[in-house]
Amino acid sequence: MGWCRNVDRDGRSLLQTEVVTAYDPHPFTTAPRALPGVDALWPLCLAIARHRRGTGPAPAPDAARRFHQHRSHGFVLDPAAWHPEALELFSLLKPVLDCPPESPTWVIGQLGQSLDGCIATRGGDANFVNGPEMLLHLHRLRALCDAVIVGAATAAIDNPQLTTRRVAGEHPVRVLIDPTLRLAPTLRVFTDRQAPTLLVCDAAREAEAAAQVGADQVLGVPGLLKENGTLDLPALLHALRQRGLHVLFVEGGGITVSRFIAQGCMDRLHLSIAPVLIGGGRPGLSLPVGMVMRNCPRPPASVFRMGADVLWDLDLRALAPFAT
Ligand SMILES: NC(=O)c1ccc[n+]([C@@H]2O[C@H](COP(=O)([O-])OP(=O)(O)OC[C@H]3O[C@@H](n4cnc5c(N)ncnc54)[C@H](OP(=O)(O)O)[C@@H]3O)[C@@H](O)[C@H]2O)c1
C-alpha cells in the first residue's frame, strides 16, 4: 500500500508523521496547503467505531465536507481533500466502518502467508511472516472490531496479548476457541487483565473451564460441539452477539479462519502474501477440495501494497458454505 512504503531504518512505519503538501490554486496565495493524511483519518475511524458500539457520539461531518455518511454508500471521503495514502487506507477499512449497529454479525478474517502458502514454520514460529506494515494493520483491525478471535493453537504457541498497542484505540474483547480446554491458565490473555478475555467451549464443559481460568473468562456455548465433532460457528456468533460483540476479527490461525469460511461465517478476508518461502510449514487456508476449476469460487478482490507484502482484500459474502 502506498502509505506503507515508508519505514525508517528500524522498520517502524513513518505513516504517523507523514504529511504532503498540495499547492493552493488560488492565485493570490502561494503557501502550500497540507492535505490531511493517515494521522487525521485514524481518529475519525475510531470515532465511527465508537459510535457503532454506542460508546461515543456520531462523528460530525466537518464544515469542509471532507467526509460524510451517505445513505446507501456508507462513509465517504472527498477524494480532493485527503492525502492519497489516507484515501487508500480508508478504502481498505471502509467495509468495517460501514457496519451499522443493527446489522447482523459481521466477520473479517486475516492470514499472513508465505509465497508457498504457509502461515508459520512447522514448529509454529510465525514471528514474523509479514512486515511491520501488516502488523500495524492488524492492530488497526483489532481497534475497529468488537472482538478478536484466535484458535487454541495460536493462543498456545504465540501466547499473544491481542491488544492495540501499536495504534490509538480500545482493545477488543479477546476470544479463544478452545473446545478441548488445552490452554494453560498462565497465558497472558488470562492473567494480564488488559482487556476482557473469553475462552469459548461447549456449554457442557463450562464449569470445567471456569475452574481453570475463572468463570468471568469463559463463554460456554450451548450446542457448540456438534455430533460430528465440528463446532457450530453460527451458534458461537449468536452467543457473542448476545454479549454485544457483533463486528468480529478472526486473526488466525489457518484452521480457525478456514473453518469460519467453510461454514459461510466470514464476510471478508485480508490475505497478505509476504515474499518469503517457508517450505512445509503450517498451512494457511485449507478448504474442502474443488474438483472442477470452473466451480471453484473466485470472490471479488482488491489488491493493496503493504510494504514488501501484498494484501488481497476478498469479499466472501457471495460464497456459499462449503459442504463439510
Ligand atoms: N501468519 C499469520 O497470519 C498467523 C496468524 C495467527 C496464527 N499464526 C500461526 O498459526 C499457527 C496456529 O495455526 P493453526 O492453523 O495450526 O491453528 P489455530 O487455527 O490457531 O487453532 C486451531 C485449533 O483451535 C481449535 N479450533 C478453532 N476453531 C475451531 C473449529 N471451528 N472447530 C474445531 N476446533 C477449532 C481447535 O483446537 P483443538 O485442537 O484443541 O480441538 C483447533 O485445532 C501458530 O504457529 C501461529 O503462530 C499465524
**pLDDT at 11 > cutoff 60:** no
The pLDDT mean for the chain works out to 90
Rounded Cα–Cα distance for residues 253 and 47 (Å): 29
Rounded Cα–Cα distance for residues 256 and 191 (Å): 23
By alpha-carbon position, which residue is closest to atom 30 of ligand 1? 231
pLDDT, tens digit (0-9, with 9 covering 90-100), for 63-75? 677 888 888 899 9
> What is the band of 33 on the pLDDT scale with cuts at 50, 70, 90?
low
Q: Which residue ranges form the domains of the chain, and what is each CATH number?
A: 2-96 (no CATH), 104-315 (3.40.430.10)
The model's pTM is 0.91
Cα–Cα separations (whole angstroms), residue 211 to 91, 196, 201, 215: 45, 17, 13, 7
In this predicted model, which residue has the larger pLDDT, 262 or 4? 262
Which of ligand 1's atoms lies nearest the C-alpha of 231?
32
What pLDDT is recorded for position 17? Answer: 30
What distance in angstroms lies between residue 149's CA and the mean position of ligand 1's atoms?
10
By alpha-carbon position, which residue is closest to atom 40 of ligand 1? 180
Rounded Cα–Cα distance for residues 65 and 74 (Å): 15
Cα–Cα separations (whole angstroms), residue 257 to 28, 114, 171, 277, 306: 56, 16, 21, 21, 21
> What is the band of 109 on the pLDDT scale with cuts at 50, 70, 90?
very high
Ligand 1 pocket, residue 230 CB under 6 Å: yes
Residues 159 and 188: beta-carbon distance below 8 Å: yes
The pLDDT > 70 percentage for the chain reads 89
Best residue for ligand 1 mutational test, from 125, 154, 228 (most atoms within 8 Å of Cβ) = 154
Which of ligand 1's atoms lies nearest the C-alpha of 155?
20
Residue 47 neighbours by CB distance under 10 Å: 16
Rounded Cα–Cα distance for residues 188 and 182 (Å): 15
Residues 50 and 245: beta-carbon distance below 8 Å: no
Q: Among 2-6, 33-37, 157-161, whose mean pLDDT is lowest?
A: 2-6
Ligand 1 pocket, residue 234 CB under 6 Å: no
Residue 182 neighbours by CB distance under 10 Å: 10
Best residue for ligand 1 mutational test, from 110, 115, 118, 119 (most atoms within 8 Å of Cβ) = 119
> Residue 72 corresponds to which cell in the numbers above?
446507501
